[in-house]
Amino acid sequence: MSSFTDGSSAPHPRSAGDRGHWLGGRLAVVTGASRGIGAATAEALAAAGARVVLAARDAAALAGVAGRIRDAGGDASAVPADVGNAADVDRLFEAAAAAGPVSALVCAAAVLESVPFAETTPAIWEQTLRVNLTGSFLCCRAAFAAMRRGGEGRIVTIGSLSGVYATEKFPGLAAYNVSKYGVIGLTEAIAVEGRPHGISAICVSPGAVDTEMLRRANPDLRPGLTPADVARLILALLDSPLAPASGANIPLFSNAPADRENQASSP
């Protein structure tokens, strides 16, 4: 399949080979898609037959992911965007709407800066919440409006064990932790208001995943998951009937500190 960049709003028929996946032939937006969980998820959804719109700030890396998807026979379009910027999010969803109705959204965009609490500046705090929480809000709100018009939709947000009550927290992550608590609460709110419109929302909260962000957060943690592992879970969730679980948060206890391999902790 080729990239959908012609601006056509005509519906795209689902092929016979897509029958095993709810996503087959549907349009999915994936943020944070230039690397890590976002990139792996975009590739997994495209392999399942979804037409994917990819968003991230790193235009070159984003183009590379979209190119890999197209080289593998998938349908992908790259829209460089800062999810914490309302104008960028509007532009992202305008581009998606030109390709067809948005059926799925995965919010994987996030930033992290490890800094002691007493040294956390307002700028670090605001930037972290702007991307991680406000960015999720802006994208979910735009997708919600599109899905409500279409009569259905499925949203997956990415939290973290750092945002899960009663899990061990690590120093230097106050802003990140708070942002992820917020993402979980946002998902619950979307689930409540989405139910009458056929819109489901669920949050996945991984622990240690083998990403650049983990290495910045805590280089001593031994990751128990790869981005592809998380992507497969997200694909399975989107392909399943989400409504009964809408509003749930799924913690993935995948942390293994180097000196205590079996201990589950965060983020």
Structural domain including 182 reads: 19-257
Assess if residue 120 is contained within a domain: yes
Residues annotated as catalytic (active site), given as ranges: 176
| CATH number of the domain residue 238 falls in | 3.40.50.720
Residue 226 in any domain: the answer is yes
Q: What is the pTM of this model?
A: 0.87
Element holding 156 (H helix, E strand):
strand 153-158
93 within 8 A of 146, measured Cβ to Cβ: yes
Upper half-sphere CA count for residue 93 (Cβ side, 13 Å): 21
Q: Does any domain span residue 193?
A: yes
Residue 77 lies in a domain: yes
Please give the Cα distance from 9 to 11 (Å, whole number): 6
State how many domains the chain has: 1
Distances (CA, A) of 83 to 131, 158, 203, 208, 214: 6, 14, 18, 24, 21
What does the pLDDT profile of the chain (267 residues) look like in tens digits?
333 333 333 333 333 334 578 999 999 999 999 999 999 999 999 999 999 999 999 999 999 999 999 999 999 999 999 999 999 999 999 999 999 999 999 999 999 999 999 999 999 999 999 999 999 999 999 999 999 999 999 999 999 988 999 888 889 999 999 999 999 999 999 999 999 999 999 999 998 787 888 777 777 778 888 899 999 999 999 999 999 999 999 999 876 655 444 443 444
